[in-house]
Amino acid sequence: MCGITGFLDTSRNKSRAELESFVTRMSDAIVHRGPDDSGEWVDAETGLALGFRRLAIVDLTPTGHQPMISASGRYIMVFNGEIYNYNEMREELIAKGTKFRGTSDSEVMVESIDTWGLEASVKRFNGQFAFALWDRRDRVLHLVRDRVGVKPMHYGWNGNTLLFGSELKCLKAFPDFDGEIDRNAVALFTRYNYIPAPWTIYRGVKKQMPGTILSFPFDRPGFEPEPQIYWSAKKAVEDGLSNPFTGSETEAIDELEALLRESVRLRMMADVPLGAFLSGGVDSSAIVALMQAESRVPVKTYTIGFQEGDYNEAEYARKVAQHLKTQHTEMTVTPEEARAVIPLIPAMYDEPYSDSSQIPTYLVSKLTRQHVTVSLSGDGGDELFAGYNRYFWGNSIWNRIGWMGRGPRKALGHAMRALSPATWDSVFKTLRPILPGSLRVPQAGEKMKKIADVVSVDSEQSLYFRLASHWKDPESLVRGSKEPETPLTDRSNWPAIPDFTRWMMYMDLITYLPDDILAKVDRASMAVSLESRVPYLDDHRVIEFAWRLPMSMKIKNGQGKWILRQVLYRHVPRELIERPKMGFGIPIDSWLRGPLREWADDLLDENRMRVDGYFDPVPIQKMWRDHLAGTNDNQYYLWDILVFQEWLRKQAS
C-alpha cells in the first residue's frame, strides 16, 4: 500500500527543479502511507509532476519502485493499492511477448494498459486501487479509483494547476494552496458525520467517485471531465436483481464459500508478515476462519478490548481465536489511551469526520502494526448480507406505522421521546428475561431514541434518510450554508429496487460504506503504515454474487447475514457467534460528562462559536446542557460539533 500525489500545471512556467521541489513537498506530507521508499517523475514541458511514497508489500526489490514506467516509455504511473490477480495477467502478457523487469503488480498494470488499453485493463483488475497514469503520447493525465472506493483519490484545481493525492494533506502542501472552507460541506458533515463524495471540506476540491476514470488534457486549465464509469454499483445491483440465483440454499452456501475462500486466498499474498482484525463477530470471524483454512500455520489475529463492558468484544474474539487456533494478540485499552487519540484525529482525517469508532479502529491498527504489515478486515459484510439493525427495524417500523396518518405518528414519536434513553435502558433491562432474543440489544435506549425520531416521516425513503441523519436541519445550524444534493437524495439516479430493505442496502453500499467505513479504515490503518485488505469488497465478484441472492438467504427469522453465518458455522460453532450485534464504539457519552468536559466546554463556548462563525450556538448549547444534566444522551450530535471545532482549531495553528 502506498501514497500518491502530483500536479499538472497548465501554465507550464515552472522549472524542472521547482516541479521536483513542489511534488517532493507534497509526497513528504504522506510519508506515513509509504515509509519504505519514495520517487518523483516530472516533465517540465507539460508541467506534470508525479510523487510516490511506498509501503513495500509485493516485490520488495528496487524493481517495484515507482513511478513505474512501461517498457515502451509511453505510460508513467503512481499507484496506491494491490491488484490480486496480477500473476494471472502477467502470464497472459508474457504469452504475448511482454518482457518483465521485476515481479510487482504495478509493472503488470502499466504493461497491461500498454497492451489492452486503460479501460479494458481496469475492468480486469481484481483489487483495491487508486492511481494516476500519464500518457506521454497523448499528453493526458488519467486518475482512476477502484470499484467501491476502498482507496482514496482527491483532486481539484488551484488556479491553473490541477492537484491530486491520496489525502488532502498532499494538496494542502502545494505552495499557495487555496483552502477555502466550504460551508455547504460543513452542512453535509453535520448531517452524516462525514462529508460524502464528491465533496470535501475545501471549496473546489473533490473526492473522485468510485468506479470512474477522469482524464485531464495537459493544456486545458480548469477542465472538469465527465467521469468515465467502468463499473457501476447501480448496474451491478440491477443485473443481480434481473439475474437472480436459482439454486438451492446449499448450492448458494457452497458458491459463496468458494468465492470468499478464493478472495481470502488471493489477499493472503504478501512478501511481508500478514494478519487479521478479529472482533468475534460474524464478518471478521468468517474471514479469519477462511484464512486459517488456507494456511498451514496459525494465522495472526488482533483485537482490542475496553474496560467498559458494554463496549468490550474482546472475550468473544478470544473464544473464536481459541477455537480456530490462531496466534492471537489482545490488548485492553485504558480510557486514557483511547482519549489520547482525540488530538490526532484532525491530522489523520484532514477534514471533519466524527464516527467515534475512528478511535478503536486506530488503536487496533496500531496494535496490529507492531507485528505485521498487512491485515485483512471484515468490512462490507453488513452491507452485502444485511447485517445492520436498520434493515430489520426500518422495514418493521414502517410496516407498523405506515398506515397511520402523519399526525398520529408525530404524537407517537413525542410520547416515545418523553422517556430518556437512560429510562428506556432501565425498562429493557427489567424486561430482558421475557424479551425475545432480537430485542435483547445493547444501548437499547439510544435505539429507542432513534425510532422516536423517525416515526413521523412520510415515506420509507424519508425514514432511512432520517436514520442516516445526525443533525436533522443542517442549514439552520450551519450559517450561510445550503445543503447540496448527494447520491442519497438524488432520486434520478436511484436504481429500480423492488423492496425497502434492499434499497437501504444499496444506499449504504454507495454512501455510508465508502465515505464513512472505508475512509475510516484507510486513514486509521495508513496512519500507522498498515495495509488493510477487505475480501468482501475489493473482489467485485463477491459483491455481484451477493446481489443475485434472494433476501430469504440474507434475512431469516428476524436475523441478518443468514448465508454468511452458514459459511461461518462450517468452521466455528454457532454458540460462539450468536449474540446481539455490537458497534465498535467507545463511551463518549460518559467521557463528555467526565474527563472530556473541560475540553468540550472550551470548544462549545458560545462566544467562541459566534466568533468562529460556522454554527448557530443556541441549539448546540441546549444539547450540551441537556447532555450534562443527563436528560438526553446527545453524544453523537455533540461529537460532530466537537470534532469540527477541534479540526478548525488545528487549521488555525
The alpha-helical segments, DSSP class H, found in 377-420 are 381-385, 390-401, 406-417
The helix or strand, by DSSP H or E, that contains position 131, with its residue range, turns out to be: strand 127-135
Of the candidates 145, 138, 146, the one whose C-alpha atom is nearest the C-alpha of residue 46 is 138
Cα 390 to Cα 504: distance, rounded to the nearest angstrom: 8
Share of the chain residues as helix, strand and coil, in percent rounded to the nearest 5: 50, 15, 35
Does residue 210 contact residue 514 with C-beta atoms inside 8 Å? yes
Give the sign of the dihedral formed by CA 25, CA 368, CA 518, CA 146. positive
Query: What is the total residue count of the chain?
Result: 653
Residue 164 in grid coordinates: 491530486
Give all strands (DSSP E) within 292-341, no chain letters. Answer: 300-306, 327-333
Residue 475, judged by CB atoms within 10 A of its CB (0-12, 13-18, 19+), counts as middle
Q: What angle do CA 199, 203, 204 make, to 5 degrees?
A: 80
Cα 372 to Cα 292: distance, rounded to the nearest angstrom: 16
Cα 346 to Cα 351: distance, rounded to the nearest angstrom: 7
Give the sign of the dihedral formed by CA 512, CA 518, CA 523, CA 528. positive
**Position 238, amino acid:** E
Q: Is 170 a catalytic residue?
A: no
Neighbouring CB atoms inside 10 A of 173's CB total 22
Cα 500 to Cα 29: distance, rounded to the nearest angstrom: 44
The helix or strand, by DSSP H or E, that contains position 423, with its residue range, turns out to be: helix 421-431
**Position 614, amino acid:** Y
- CA torsion, points 6, 9, 12, 14, in degrees to nearest 10? -60
The helix or strand, by DSSP H or E, that contains position 40, with its residue range, turns out to be: strand 37-43
Task: Using DSSP, state whether 646 is helix, strand or coil.
Answer: helix
The helix or strand, by DSSP H or E, that contains position 205, with its residue range, turns out to be: strand 205-207
Query: Which of the residues 2, 23, 171, 507 is marked catalytic?
Result: 2
Does residue 383 contact residue 508 with C-beta atoms inside 8 Å? yes
Q: Hey, which residues are catalytic here? A: 2
